[in-house]
Structure 1
Amino acid sequence: MIEETETIDEFLARRSVDVEEAVRKAAAAEIMPRFRRLAEHEIDQKSGPHDLVTDADRLAERHLTDTLAALLPGSVVVGEEAVHADPAVYDAIRGDRPVWIVDPVDGTRQFVHGDPGFCTLVALAVRGVVVASWTYAPVPDRLARAVRGRGAFLDGERLHAGAPEPGRDLRVATSHPDYTTDAQKRGLLGLRSDGVAPRPCGSAGLEYLAVARGELDATAFSWEAAWDHAAGLLLVEEAGGAHLTRDGVPFRVTGGNTLPFTAARDAATARRVVDLLSR
């Protein structure tokens, strides 16, 4: 295990910039040329009208799959669209090989509507532990990265989430009602309390970045697809924040979490939100 960890550490020290370049190139080649230029035949539904996929999603994921697997021989890629085509692909997250967890366009709904609030998410996990992540917002051309134990950065500037300012309502981004079960809706109702200002979330990756920057106090999400959460949860952790599920333990990218769960600017806020979700 130590030998494997050292190998991954050496890889990250040597090739992290190459991962950043791969993410930027995928966005430049496959996503941005289609932004606000999507034809009707380039947009499809997956599970319903709120679950969209575009040619940009598919082609950017293919681009990243080829590039990332070549950067780290022996690794595998778990991408949102590959899992949609074959759910068994997801099992690799629980395996022994290094895994790239990829969401090519996080915020596809926003992308389809011409809203710049979308991003590309890449995380690297080893045996269920996320060790590095990259969050790229192509429209403003901003890239956040985090390496476990080495901090979180946005365009080279270190991120510190800090504690929420006392005396004001907690700003919490929550799951969209269309993606929640009745039981999860009941849990989220706890956020309708004095001292809390909930709002529907946008791109999960950008919400996590807002928490890491101290612009948002917490999230409260009701789904556990690793591609939506892996990159952002590490970013929040390395900025000094915390994440907890309803049973009081950190979120696991391998699954089996008690939902909803939260990521917050600090541990005290995470506990407060979980208490509200458990009412």
Structure 2
Amino acid sequence: MTFSDTDLDYLMTIVAEAAAQEIMPRFRNLGAGDISEKTSAIDLVTEADLLAEKHITVALKARFPGALIVGEEAYETNKSVVPALAHADLAFTIDPVDGTFNFAAGLPVFGTIVAVVAKGQTIASVIYDPVLGDTITAIRGAGAFLRRQAGQARRLSVAPAAPLSAMTGAISWGHMKEPDRSRVGGNLRKARMAFALNCSAYEYWMVASGKWHFIGHSTLMPWDHLAGVLVHQEAGGYTAKFDGTPYRPGETTGGIISAPDEHSWHIIRREIIGD
């Protein structure tokens, strides 16, 4: 399955439309009844999530009627769609508002993420910032690009390798269970600076553009990571699961680390993730 530049333009257009119609009008305008908890007080869903996902889903089905659509919110009613990503001829994953906690709190650190998967491989990505109107895109084998709302575009590159004491990045230790949570949280002191954005869209944005050296996650829901991993790889970076194997569509366990290169990956795996 090929995914053309025209298809990518269409994807960027419908994502921007969903943001303009369903997300931004609700930003900092949500009432108490517009926000619901899913699994906890930091795992939220809002009207913007539901309506933006619906908008993108309808548009994708119109252009790609045979494709598998895996939306974060729709997954709650049909969890068989995630394993099906491994074998689908063509599939799309959608995170309509990644960083919903930030969005609901009025913090402008959130994004819309869409990945395109064909026969078990991520082939294209869109990560959109609804506040700035900027987009990161990638097509497998063709590089990763930051596209400004005003029309400027530049190719992305990861940060050069550096000693761990000079590295910056983020590991989502807050989602880990003990004793991993305490061990990883403590080990992050070995890096120059560690961040916590609670937003995969921005984390991949930072690591693919060379602002950070590494990111890591223990939970691998596809709408959070497939698009970002491809962007990072196309920017020259190296990503693997905690056990060193590649991260593939349909997988949800095992943890991943994204780093500038394989050597840096091993340093972070050993010194920060540990055993």
Q: Which whole-Å deviations, capped at 9, do the CAs of 1:64-93 have from their partners, x for residues lacking one?
A: 111112222311110000012222232331
1:43-122 matches, cutoff 5 A? 43-122=35-114
Q: Does 1:26 align with 2:18?
A: yes
Whichever residue aligns with residue 80 of structure 1, its letter is E
Alpha-carbon deviation of 1:213? 0.5
Q: Does 1:199 align with 2:195?
A: yes
- d(CA) in 1 for partners of 2:268 and 2:200? 17
Assess if the C-alpha contact under 8 Å between 2:171 and 2:216 holds in 1.
yes
User: In the comparison of the two structures, how many residue pairs are matched?
Assistant: 269
Q: Which residue of 2 aligns with 1:184?
A: 180
Q: Which residue of 2 aligns with 1:235?
A: 231
Alpha-carbon deviation of 1:170? 1.4
- d(CA) in 2 for partners of 1:166 and 1:95? 39
Q: Which residue of 2 aligns with 1:149?
A: 141
Q: Does 1:172 align with 2:169?
A: yes
- Structure 1: any 5+ residue segments left out of the alignment? 1-7
The percentage of aligned residue pairs carrying the same residue is: 34
Q: Does 1:161 align with 2:158?
A: yes
Whichever residue aligns with residue 170 of structure 1, its letter is M
Whichever residue aligns with residue 203 of structure 2, its letter is E
- d(CA) in 2 for partners of 1:253 and 1:219? 19
- d(CA) in 1 for partners of 2:117 and 2:129? 21
Moved more, 12-21 or 192-201: 192-201
**Secondary structure, in 3 states, of the residue corresponding to 1:188?**
helix
- d(CA) in 2 for partners of 1:12 and 1:186? 45
Q: Does 1:135 align with 2:108?
A: no
Label 1:247 to 1:33 Cα distance change in 2 as closer, same or farther (>3 A). Answer: same
- Calculate the TM-score normalised by the size of structure 2: 0.91
- RMSD, matched Cα: 1.9
Alpha-carbon deviation of 1:39? 1.1
Q: Which residue of 1 aligns with 2:258?
A: 263
Moved more, 163-172 or 112-121: 163-172
- d(CA) in 1 for partners of 2:252 and 2:75? 17
Assess if the C-alpha contact under 8 Å between 1:224 and 1:253 holds in 2.
no
Alpha-carbon deviation of 1:195? 4.2
**Secondary structure, in 3 states, of the residue corresponding to 2:251?**
coil
Q: Which residue of 2 aligns with 1:4?
A: none
Q: Which whole-Å deviations, capped at 9, do the CAs of 1:131-159 have from their partners, x for residues lacking one?
A: 00000001111101000000000012111
Label 1:19 to 1:256 Cα distance change in 2 as closer, same or farther (>3 A). Answer: closer
**Secondary structure, in 3 states, of the residue corresponding to 1:202?**
coil
Assess if the C-alpha contact under 8 Å between 1:93 and 1:128 holds in 2.
yes
- Structure 2: any 5+ residue segments left out of the alignment? 148-152
**Secondary structure, in 3 states, of the residue corresponding to 1:58?**
helix
The one of 259, 263, 269 aligned to 1:274: 269
**Secondary structure, in 3 states, of the residue corresponding to 1:53?**
strand
Assess if the C-alpha contact under 8 Å between 2:218 and 2:253 holds in 1.
no
